[in-house]
């Protein structure tokens, strides 16, 4: 997978792409991340890339020509161009999974008051990370890259990836490590039992319980199995006692 990030602050990504899993994924040849300085594609002297908006208004707007040039230079038949924007569809785990299967992503980072709307003709999808406005698209680009790269086969352990929160729609079950007792707080006995089927059942119930208690909004979008419906009904009954 190749991720090309277009930004006026490429140095913003130095530590991010050279640390931890992002660094290891690149060292293993599984992912290649490139940062492109948008100013290098400016059509004006002094590499300016912004100007005042037609029709008036406050602030400066990023110009269309630099984005047009960089997209046309980088785009291939396998490319998906993503604009990080508060007007986009909300990013979630399902989108991360889908994006991780794409060979080449171009992430466009806006700044100032936004980007000349003509760029939208060359964008495949607008993505938002939440209902709020940031000063630029750099942090959202990091979030997308991190969520996507860890799903690329070989980057992290497959079992770890498959049991992540939201990977199958549910939040992850609670986890514990040594010591098994500290200041009166105990690790659940079932996790020390060695009975794998009972542990698996406990984890499934705790996963459903965590989702019901913390993010009930997620459940309405899930197609529940008979077993999941039964577990959820038990949890609701226990809560209503």
CA proximity to 26, closest of 161, 145, 138, 167: 145
One of 86, 126, 161, 203 is an active-site residue; which one?
A: 86
**CA–CA gap between residue 231 and residue 22 (Å, rounded):** 38
Distance between alpha carbon 95 and the CA centroid of its chain, in Å?
Answer: 8
One of 50, 66, 138, 150 is an active-site residue; which one?
A: 150
Report pLDDT for 165.
64
**CA–CA gap between residue 10 and residue 7 (Å, rounded):** 6
Q: 213 catalytic, yes or no? A: no
For the chain, what is the mean pLDDT?
94
Q: 113 catalytic, yes or no? A: yes
Report pLDDT for 20.
95
3-state DSSP assignment of residue 14? helix
Domains of the chain, start order: 2-158 (3.40.1280.10), 181-239 (1.10.1270.20)
For 68-106, how does the pLDDT look when each residue is reduced to its tens digit (9 = 90+)?
999 999 999 999 999 999 999 999 999 999 999 999 999
Stretch among 14-18, 78-82, 93-97, 112-116 having the lowest mean pLDDT: 112-116
Average pLDDT of the residues in 213-220? 94
Q: 138 catalytic, yes or no? A: no
Average pLDDT of the residues in 208-219? 95
Q: 150 catalytic, yes or no? A: yes
Confidence of residue 39 (pLDDT cuts 50, 70, 90): very high
One of 39, 164, 174, 201 is an active-site residue; which one?
A: 164
One of 113, 126, 146, 201 is an active-site residue; which one?
A: 113
- Would you put residue 47 in left (φ > 0), alpha (ψ -120 to 50) or beta? left
For 137-193, how does the pLDDT look when each residue is reduced to its tens digit (9 = 90+)?
999 999 999 999 999 999 998 777 677 767 788 999 999 999 999 999 999 999 999
């Amino acid at each position: 997978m190749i991720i090309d990030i277009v930004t006026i602050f490429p140095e913003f990504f130095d530590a991010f792409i050279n640390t931890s899993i992002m660094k290891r994924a690149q060292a293993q040849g599984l992912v290649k991340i490139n940062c492109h300085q948008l100013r290098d594609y400016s059509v004006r002297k002094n590499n300016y890339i912004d100007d005042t908006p037609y029709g008036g208004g406050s602030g400066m707007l990023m110009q269309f020509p630099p984005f047009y040039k960089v997209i046309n230079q980088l785009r291939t038949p396998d490319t998906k161009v993503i604009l990080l924007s508060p007007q986009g569809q909300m990013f979630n785990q399902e989108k991360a999974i889908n994006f991780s299967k794409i060979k080449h992503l171009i992430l466009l980072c806006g700044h100032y008051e936004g980007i000349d709307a003509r760029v939208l003709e060359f964008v495949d999808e607008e993505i938002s990370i939440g209902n709020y406005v940031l000063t630029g698209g750099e942090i959202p680009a990091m979030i997308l890259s991190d969520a996507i790269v860890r799903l690329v086969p070989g980057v992290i352990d497959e079992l770890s990836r498959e049991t992540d929160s939201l990977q199958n729609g549910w939040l992850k079950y609670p986890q514990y490590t040594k010591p098994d007792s500290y200041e009166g707080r105990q690790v659940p006995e079932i996790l020390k039992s060695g009975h794998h089927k009972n542990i698996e059942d406990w984890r499934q119930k705790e996963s459903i319980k965590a989702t019901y208690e913390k993010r009930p909004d997620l459940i309405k979008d899930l197609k529940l199995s008979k077993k999941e419906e039964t577990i959820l009904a038990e949890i609701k009954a226990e809560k209503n006692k």
